[in-house]
Amino acid sequence: MNETATASGYNFAYLDEQTKRMIRRAILKAIAIPGYQVPFASREMPMPYGWGTGGVQVTAAVLGPDDTLKVIDQGSDDTTNAVSIRKFFERTAGVKTTTKTTDASVIQTRHRVPEEKLRADQILVYQVPIPEPLRFLEPRETETRQLHALAEYGLMHVKLYEDIARHGRIATTYAYPVEVAGRYVMDPSPVPKFDNPKIGDCAALQLYGAGREKRIYAVPPHTKVKSLDFEDHPFRVQTFREPCALCAAEDVYLDEVVLDDRGGRMFVCSDTDYCEQRRTDGHRGKMLGKVPLGGEAA
Amino acid sequence: MYVAVKGGEAAIANAHRLLDHERRGDPSVPELSIAQIREQMTLLVDRVMTEGSLYDPDLAALALKQARGDIIEAVFLVRAFRTTLPRFGYSQPMDTDAMFAMRRISAIYKDLPGGQVLGPTFDYTHRLIDFNLAANGEPPTPKESDSALAGMPHVTGLLDQEGLIEREPGAEEGSPVGDLTRDPLDFPAGRDLRLQALARGDEGFILALGYSTQRGFGRTHPFTGEIRVGEVEIEYVPEELGFAVLLGDVVLTECEMINQFKGSASAPPQFTRGYGLAFGRGERKAMAMALVDRALRARELGEDIKAPAQDEEFVLAHCDNLQSTGFVEHLKLPHYVDFQAELELVRRMRAAHAENRMDDEALEAAE
């Protein structure tokens, strides 16, 4: 595509002001009813459905000219889709962009919550593929809307219970359902359940946009978010046997990188900015400098 | 006129002559050449080859020209040609590990042996109409890399080293592979026949079915283990020679989906596979096919069969767009003999209905 001819002729951040107002109204409603999925008139976007159109629309609606945007996918700023969306806003909004979590005022993410603790002056925008946490238990929207209205979440508990009965544990590892502010059960988007505790009592506003399914929902700052569990089977996050091979961080989410076809593997921070910052601060993992993994895979 | 029973022959000949005229369009605009279609409408040509089940870019391009760009009509032409070709035998299984790949990506590892190779892709382009293309379509020459591509082992092979993924439930050595185009499809169908049906099935239909599994109608928890696009050699063993000879290269798109499986009484928890393959650059088709392939394995894996995508008869009986279009469009054919019989019946029933009502009213009045 031509890189120069397109930026002009479009409104700030691509969407027209009326559309942005419509999205902002949905966002306000979503904030007023934490965890509730607000239907909105999702627009056709110049990227495919399922690739972040919901997140992009929410970001476009909250972005101002003074904002600094960070976009991550799988925790990394350098993954292809993150690069694409960041470029999109560079071109259509002309805002500053950054890879540093601490420098960003708006962070759009897919599949991760940054490791760095977020602040009150930041907004985290999630890209959501399937907003309905009950969808895989009940495929029909007419039914699930009613279940939410009645706060009838027995299905979900039965599902988790069946997991325990069959496997001795809850076998959901990502998109792990949460109860928001004691009322609505919400899909936190497919973040690993490792990230669930960061969603609760977070200082930043968290917005969730699902473009194809036309839903927006929100977790306002410092909202109680509880991962569903049972008294005798309390919620637990993933743990890793070894620290990050590059920055030695523990208690972070790690990516497994295959080094060869003979079983060689290493584990590195999924949050690349966090990892870089730690290395700058002098932390050294056991494989730092030994593997050609400075830049990230395209 | 359509209803003129005699004289239809001349009408048909005239209609087809008019069709040829319409296909040409405005004669002041230069005519499309087969080479132009083949080189610049490549994805369309690939789709016609895939659903036409015949690897011949020139023929597919010609079919597209003749069909005025209608995909199913072009597939129709290719299939009708294919069926006239003699069958010498079957090729050796293709080795996609040895593919000369122009694209290879995996969504389940950040990096892996052989690397992530994007290749030519629409992915990550912004879908903004490029008005410059209307005036001048000459793109800059692509960049070249000095480093050669490394070997690209299949991702499923890497998972297999740990036993995390099921072994490919392979056929026994020497057992015949079914052929959908030579034998009628029988239910329950083996996976070989299912994959054949899906491979030539309509992209839109397979896509929608694959999508339905993602939305909860037969969920399969898929991850894109790998997509690779590139040239693969085809070998054939002529009986009189007894050893394999190279027939040539075909461009293929292969998708291996990796799906969660929580285990059953007989099998431990492990990842399972869904497989998709298309001629040319048919990434969407290959991905959708892999989703539906996995969904259709529900019976084999002891899963509940509740959704359309898991229902073998539903999927295989309706995925072929020639069959679908033929039967839907046959409704255009004259049906007036049957309709006449229906007319007569409805008239008779209406008369009986009216009579009954009159009788009832008379009865009520009498009471």
Q: Which residues pair with B230 in a beta bridge?
A: B101, B252
Q: Strand, coil or helix: what is B76?
A: helix
Count up the domains in chain B and report the number.
Answer: 2
In this structure, the answer to whether residues B154 and B280 fall within a common structural domain is: yes
Q: Which helix (H) or strand (E) holds A217?
A: strand A215-219
In this structure, is residue B341 part of a structural domain?
no
- State the nearest Cα–Cα gap between A298 and chain B, in angstroms: 6
Between residues B38 and A172, the one the model is more confident about: B38
The CB density around residue A149, as the number of other CB atoms within 10 Å, is 8
HSE toward the beta carbon, residue B146, CA cutoff 13 A: 0
Angle A29-A72-B155 from CA coordinates, rounded to 5°? 125
pTM of the model: 0.84
Q: Which phi and psi angles does A70 have, rounded to 5°?
A: -125, 140
- State the nearest Cα–Cα gap between B7 and chain A, in angstroms: 51
In this structure, the answer to whether residues B246 and B275 fall within a common structural domain is: yes
Amino acid of residue B206: I
Q: Do B110 and A263 count as a contact with CB atoms less than 8 A apart?
A: no
- State the nearest Cα–Cα gap between A12 and chain B, in angstroms: 16
Window 63-82 of A, Cβ < 8 Å to B: 74, 76, 80-81
- Rg of the Cα trace of chain A? 20
The model's pLDDT over A171-207, given as tens digits with 9 standing for 90+, comes to: 888 999 999 999 999 999 999 999 999 999 999 999 9
Q: Do B110 and A83 count as a contact with CB atoms less than 8 A apart?
A: no
Chain A residues in contact with B226 (beta carbon < 8 A): none
Q: Do B161 and A263 count as a contact with CB atoms less than 8 A apart?
A: yes
In this structure, what token pair is assigned to residue A236? Answer: 């637990």
In this structure, the answer to whether residues B77 and B191 fall within a common structural domain is: no
Helices (H), chain B: 8-24, 34-40, 42-52, 57-66, 71-82, 132-135, 155-160, 191-200, 203-214, 283-296, 312-318, 321-329, 336-366
Q: Do B116 and A298 count as a contact with CB atoms less than 8 A apart?
A: yes
In this structure, what token pair is assigned to residue A186? Answer: 């919400």
Question: Which residue out of A6, A140, A159, A261 would a mutagenesis test of the B interface target, given it has the greatest number of B Cβ atoms within 10 Å?
Answer: A261
In this structure, the answer to whether residues B101 and B248 fall within a common structural domain is: yes
Question: Could you tell me if B177 and B300 are in contact, meaning their C-beta atoms sit under 8 angstroms apart?
Answer: no
In this structure, is residue B48 part of a structural domain?
yes
In this structure, is residue B354 part of a structural domain?
no
Helices (H), B98-183: 132-135, 155-160
Q: What ranges make up the beta strands (E) of B66-119?
A: 100-105
Partner residue facing A258 (CB), from B109, B127, B131 = B109
- State the nearest Cα–Cα gap between B133 and chain A, in angstroms: 9
In this structure, the answer to whether residues B34 and B72 fall within a common structural domain is: yes
Q: Which helix (H) or strand (E) holds A32?
A: helix A17-32
* Per-residue pLDDT band at A105 (split at 50, 70, 90): very high
CA distance linking residue A201 with residue A223, whole number of Å = 5
A54-79 per-residue burial string, b: 16 or more CB within 10 A, e: under 16: bbbbbbbbbbeeebbbbbbbbbbbbb
The model's pLDDT over A121-149, given as tens digits with 9 standing for 90+, comes to: 999 999 999 999 999 899 888 999 999 99
The model's pLDDT over B298-329, given as tens digits with 9 standing for 90+, comes to: 998 888 899 999 999 999 999 999 999 999 98
Q: Do B109 and A6 count as a contact with CB atoms less than 8 A apart?
A: no
- Rg of the Cα trace of chain B? 27
In this structure, is residue B346 part of a structural domain?
no
Flag the least confident range among A88-97, B31-40, B347-356: B347-356
Partner residue facing A171 (CB), from B153, B215, B262 = B262
CB-based burial of residue A248 (10 Å sphere; 0-12 exposed, 13-18 middle, 19+ buried)? Answer: middle
Q: Quick check: A283 pLDDT over 70? A: yes
In this structure, the answer to whether residues B317 and B244 fall within a common structural domain is: yes
In this structure, is residue B351 part of a structural domain?
no
In this structure, the answer to whether residues B78 and B100 fall within a common structural domain is: no
As a whole number, mean pLDDT of residues B141-167 equals 85
Q: Which phi and psi angles does B105 have, rounded to 5°?
A: -135, 150
What one-character DSSP code corresponds to residue A230?
Answer: B
Task: Tell me which residue range forms the domain holding B207.
Answer: 96-124+148-166+184-325
In this structure, the answer to whether residues B152 and B19 fall within a common structural domain is: no
Partner residue facing B110 (CB), from A2, A135, A255 = A255
CA distance linking residue A19 with residue A26, whole number of Å = 11
Catalytic site residues of A? 35, 244, 247, 269, 275
In this structure, the answer to whether residues B198 and B308 fall within a common structural domain is: yes
* Per-residue pLDDT band at B360 (split at 50, 70, 90): confident
In this structure, the answer to whether residues B222 and B294 fall within a common structural domain is: yes
The model's pLDDT over B42-76, given as tens digits with 9 standing for 90+, comes to: 999 999 999 999 999 999 999 999 999 999 999 99
**Chain B residue with Cα closest to A213:** B215
Question: Could you tell me if B155 and A261 are in contact, meaning their C-beta atoms sit under 8 angstroms apart?
Answer: no
The size of the A-B interface in CB pairs under 8 A is: 77
Block residue for tokens 């895939």: B50
In this structure, the answer to whether residues B271 and B207 fall within a common structural domain is: yes
Q: Quick check: A296 pLDDT over 50? A: no
Partner residue facing A258 (CB), from B112, B126, B219 = B112
Flag the least confident range among A174-188, A281-295, B189-203, B349-363: A281-295
In this structure, is residue B175 part of a structural domain?
no
In this structure, is residue B340 part of a structural domain?
no
In this structure, is residue B344 part of a structural domain?
no
Residue A135: per-residue pLDDT? 92
Question: Could you tell me if A132 and A37 are in contact, meaning their C-beta atoms sit under 8 angstroms apart?
Answer: yes
Between residues B227 and B357, the one the model is more confident about: B227
Q: Which phi and psi angles does A179 have, rounded to 5°?
A: -105, 125
In this structure, the answer to whether residues B223 and B114 fall within a common structural domain is: yes
CA distance linking residue A15 with residue B33, whole number of Å = 41
